[in-house]
């Protein structure tokens, strides 16, 4: 595990945007604390799985769960780590509109760590939630 280096919201926001897929998703970090992070995601019409029914593809929500869970760890350890595996539960269709995803560390370990995330709509309604295991023993 890398040393405990805390990054502030602005640094996390700058770093998370380096990933081309994050740029495409349009992510911005709105809050970041000790093991917790909130990320905002503006809508893109490419998110639709079904344009008539008007809701997002599950793979978009899965990406948000994975990245928020991982970057919650980054608030504690200074960077994200490779995902070993993840689970996502889908609770409600994610209709067109801004999405918000909140990541939170469950348990930091020297080799593996577990973290969870919740995706909400602009009104705070829970759309999806899940958790992942991250290889926090991995060197840079």
Applying CB under 8 A, the residues found at the interface with a copy of itself are: 18-24, 45-51, 56-60, 62-64, 66-67, 82-91, 106-107, 109, 111-112, 114, 126, 129-131, 133, 135, 137-138
Q: Shortest gap between Cβ of 5 and a copy of itself (angstroms)? A: 19
Q: Shortest gap between Cβ of 47 and a copy of itself (angstroms)? A: 6
Report how far apart, in Å, the C-alpha atoms of 119 and of each of 10, 33, 66, 87 are. 21, 18, 11, 13
CB-wise, 64 or 72, nearer to a copy of itself?
Answer: 64
Buried b (16+ CB within 10 A) or exposed e, 109-134: eeebbbbbbbbbbeeeeebbbbbbbb
Q: Shortest gap between Cβ of 32 and a copy of itself (angstroms)? A: 19
């Amino acid at each position: 595990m890398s040393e405990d280096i805390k990054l502030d919201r602005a640094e996390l926001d700058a770093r998370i945007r380096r990933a081309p897929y994050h740029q495409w998703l349009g992510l911005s970090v709105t809050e970041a604390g000790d093991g917790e992070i909130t990320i905002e995601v503006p809508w893109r019409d490419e998110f639709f799985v079904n344009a008539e029914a008007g809701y997002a593809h599950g793979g978009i929500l899965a990406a948000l769960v994975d990245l928020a869970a991982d970057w919650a760890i980054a608030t504690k350890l200074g960077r994200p780590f490779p995902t070993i595996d993840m689970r996502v539960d889908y609770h409600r269709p994610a209709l067109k509109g801004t999405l918000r995803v909140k990541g939170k560390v469950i348990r930091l370990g020297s080799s593996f760590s577990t973290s969870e995330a919740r995706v909400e709509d602009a009104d705070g309604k829970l759309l999806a939630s899940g958790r992942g295991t991250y290889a926090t023993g991995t060197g840079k």
